[in-house]
Amino acid sequence: MPEASQKYTFCRTLLNGPSPSHVRELGNSRYPLAMYEQGLAAGESAYDHGGYINIPELPSGVGVRNSCRPEIIEESAYLRILQPAGGWLSAGTLEKLAACAETYGKSLIHFTSGGTIEIYTTREQMVPAVRELNAAGLDVGSTGNDLRCLTACCGPARCDAALIDAPALATYLGQRFIDEQQYPGYPQKVKSGVSGCPNDCTRAMMQKDHSFIGVYRDLPQINSEALLAWQEAGGDLKGLLASCPTEALVWTGSTLAVDPQKCWHCMVCINLCPAIRPGRERGVAWVAGGKYGHRGPQGPMVGYVLVPFIPIKDNDYTTIGDLFGAFLELWADNAQKKERVGDFISRVGPLWVIKELGLNAVPQILISPGRNGF
């Protein structure tokens, strides 16, 4: 038990139990444990929101949370680091991050839900810390009214459901729009994410202002021999048929077929049965306007399907990047101050956006976009 925690009732309680305790790690760091005890005792954070601060040489990537107990700690400043797409970090990179946090920070690293990495430090230590991070191949950004770090699922490196290389697409967009991540200049923050398939494990369609989802346009592929083996191994055919939300799966008594007029391409049958795989005509659906936030006239939103299918050939993502850049310019020129993308599209109308971008208004955008992209 860390010596510093012995006088703190709530923190000491959290040290008990069979699992490793985060309080022990806090006690072993340079973080003021009294602040955590204060938050536990009050039932709310001991920090206010704070904001983004101006540090010479660093246009973005720095922020501060104000302290409710300045006699313990005046403020909690932090560096926000752009994480590689998919969260892939080598052991060597993790060691360099840890060394940077030990040298310039409070010996703590925070992997955020938004796909970035935060190191808690002081204003005076930020510039030398960033120089060391740059030497390790990392950079800061993703704060203020800018393009936030582009997140992605793990992709085909370890997921057999991936229809596109999500980390590769996110890396392309992140590199192409690196200035937009580091120089705030938009009406509001804009979050973006890439998911390799409609399962959307990254919750991009609900959480991000822009999401690029791997999709397939033809019907699911059924391997009859694999289906028979799956049934013989105990596979529940009746449960599989019942799982389809539109009853698109049809069992003839000897074969399984898919009704093209009913299929939503929703991945449910593919997730349940290894004999059913996604179609071969694959690409990206562009969804814009999702957000969890309660601010704005619409509150939380699921995004609009602006383009239901963008084909990808030879890992060329130029078309997606061009559309993304065109929308960011359109939004920046026409959005109101602090207006998120979803609220902007809701106000001007998705058809206006499609027209301004020179896109075709296809029925798939208008007919049940939350269920069937095709």
Q: Tell whether the model's pLDDT for residue 372 goes beyond 50.
A: no
- Structure tokens given for 27: 């006690």
Topology at the third CATH level for domain 221-276? Alpha-Beta Plaits (3.30.70)
Q: 3-state secondary structure string, 129-160? A: HHHHHHHCCCCECCCCCCECCCEECCHHHCCC
Q: C-alpha 151: how far from its chain's center?
A: 4
Rg (CA), the chain: 24
Query: What percent of the chain stands above pLDDT 70?
Result: 95
Tokens of 136: 């390790």
Q: Given this chain, do its domains 3-135 and 221-276 carry the same CATH topology? A: yes
Q: What is the pLDDT of residues 293-334, one digit of tens each?
A: 777 787 888 888 999 999 999 999 999 999 999 999 999 999
CATH architecture of 3-135: 2-Layer Sandwich (3.30)
pLDDT at 75 over 80: yes
Phi, psi of 272 (to 5 degrees): -90, -30
Distances (CA, A) of 348 to 58, 330, 353: 35, 12, 7
Q: Give start and end residues of each alpha helix (H) in the chain.
A: 9-14, 22-28, 33-42, 91-104, 126-135, 166-176, 178-182, 204-207, 224-232, 237-243, 268-272, 318-334, 341-348, 350-356, 363-366
Which pLDDT does position 253 carry in this prediction?
87
Confidence of residue 57 (pLDDT cuts 50, 70, 90): confident
Phi, psi torsion values for 124, nearest 5 degrees: -70, -25
Q: How many Cα atoms are found within 13 Å in the side-chain-facing hemisphere of 155?
A: 19
Q: Is the pLDDT of residue 371 over 70?
A: no
Question: Is the predicted pLDDT of residue 369 greater than 80, yes or no?
Answer: no
Query: Quick one: pLDDT at residue 366?
Result: 54
Closest CA to 118 of 149, 72, 146, 154: 149
pLDDT of 59 higher than 80: yes
The pLDDT, as a whole number, for residue 364 is 64
Among the ranges given (19-23, 185-189, 280-284), the one the predictor scored with the smallest mean pLDDT: 19-23
Q: What is the pLDDT of residues 209-220, one digit of tens each?
A: 999 999 999 999
The yes-or-no verdict on residue 374 having pLDDT over 80 is no
pLDDT at 349 over 60: yes
CATH class of 151-217+281-366: alpha beta
What's the confidence (pLDDT) of residue 111?
92
371 burial (CB, 10 Å; 0-12 / 13-18 / 19+) is exposed
Please tell me which residue, 3 or 235, carries the higher pLDDT value: 235
Predicted local confidence at residue 3, as pLDDT? 47
**pLDDT score at 196:** 96
Helices 166-176 and 318-334: crossing angle in degrees, nearest 10, is 50
Question: Residue 1 pLDDT more than 50?
Answer: no
Please state the rounded mean pLDDT for residues 190-197.
96
Average pLDDT over residues 118-137: 94
Contacts of 224 (CB under 8 A, 6+ apart): 255, 256, 275
pLDDT for 4 beyond 50: no
- Which pLDDT value is given to residue 50? 84
Q: Which residues, including other chains, have CB under 8 Å from residue 338's CB and lie 6 or more apart?
A: 187, 188, 295
- pLDDT of 49 reads 82
Structure tokens at 232: 């013989």
Predicted local distance difference test score (pLDDT) of residue 360 = 86
- Domain locations in the chain? 3-135, 151-217+281-366, 221-276
Per-residue confidence (pLDDT) for residue 293, from 0 to 100? 78
Dump pLDDT digits (tens) for 266-296.
899 999 999 999 999 999 999 999 998 777 7
- Rounded mean pLDDT of the chain? 91
Q: Which pLDDT score is estimated for 365? A: 63
